[in-house]
Amino acid sequence: MSGTSQTSAAEAQRDLEPRLERASGAMAGDLFAVVDLLDSSAGLRRALTDPSREAGQKSQLMRRLLAGKVGTDVEELAARAAGDRWSDPRDLVDALEELATTVVAADAENSDGKAGLDRLENDLFWFTQVVEGRHDVQRAFDEAQASSDAKSQLALRLVPGISPQAQQLIDRAVRAPRGLKPAALVERFLRRVAARQQRWIADVVVSRPLADDQFQRLQQGLNRLYGRDLKVTVRQDPELLGGLRVSVGDEVVDASVLSRLHELQRRLAG
């Protein structure tokens, strides 16, 4: 994606974030259905991304297309995305696919925290490794005469016992690879899940080394601050001003969080 589309895709992800406490397979399925709808019509993609049309007109067109067919959250997400600017019509579709993948990852996360994300990531990786070494399977996925159901059944037999979220993404990749090999699309899903994992990693930069007891207080304080058990990595930068810098995923540290970080820094010093 170019800069304009990247900005719009990032805005769509931000719009999605507060809705992820309701993430479910059904929500992801609705988003994938929107992807299929737009993939089916080049004219529709152009109409929804035409820079000469007002944002409100494009949003309303998307709402009319989806009314009664998808959940309220998905209708709202897709309508807002359609109102943004896109450098290429397919960038809108790719962004909606990313939203769907994020929803599946959040569904796994809501079910079992970081362990749920770990399992999803491992299951998807397992599938890519199995398929990479099976040329007969790759040919079966490419077979035009084979039904989507048959391909899906084959894919899921290759990796028995995987999580429901992994099943949904692998089934999706086999049924609608969008011009890619199924394993390649699963790899793309895997990258999105890995990006979600970053929310569980706190990157801490300090101006001087931390003693063991300081690290423990840091770990406990950050867990309370972010409301989950984070993996804390610490790096030293003697030139750092202020003594402590923390980043967790792509989260922006606002003023209220800064004040709590200052309090955490004071406790570490004391």
pLDDT in tens, the chain (270 residues): 778 999 999 999 999 999 999 999 999 999 999 999 999 999 999 999 999 999 999 999 999 999 999 999 999 999 999 999 999 999 999 999 999 999 999 999 999 988 999 999 999 999 999 998 899 999 999 999 999 999 999 999 999 999 999 999 999 999 999 999 999 999 999 999 988 887 777 788 887 888 888 888 888 888 888 777 777 888 888 776 656 778 877 654 443 455 566 666 666 666
DSSP 3-state of 255: helix
CA 248, CA 226: separation in Å to the nearest integer? 9
CA 197, CA 207: separation in Å to the nearest integer? 26
pTM of the model: 0.80
CA 7, CA 11: separation in Å to the nearest integer? 6
State residue 255's pLDDT score: 38
CA 157, CA 139: separation in Å to the nearest integer? 16
Neighbours of 145 (CB within 10 A): 5
| Tokens found for residue 224 | 């309370």
Closest by CA to 222, choosing from 187, 251, 185, is 251
Q: What is the 3-state secondary structure (H, E, C) of 138-175?
A: HHHHHCCCCCHHHHHHHHHHHCCCCCHHHHHHHHHHHH
With beta carbons less than 8 A apart as the criterion, state whether 253 and 261 touch.
Answer: yes
Residues contacting residue 228 through CB under 8 Å, at least 6 positions apart: 113, 114, 200
DSSP secondary structure letters along 59-98:
HHHHHHHHTTTS-HHHHHHHHHHHHS--SSHHHHHHHHHH
Can you say whether the dihedral through the CA atoms of 15, 19, 20, 26 is positive or negative? negative
CA 158, CA 154: separation in Å to the nearest integer? 7
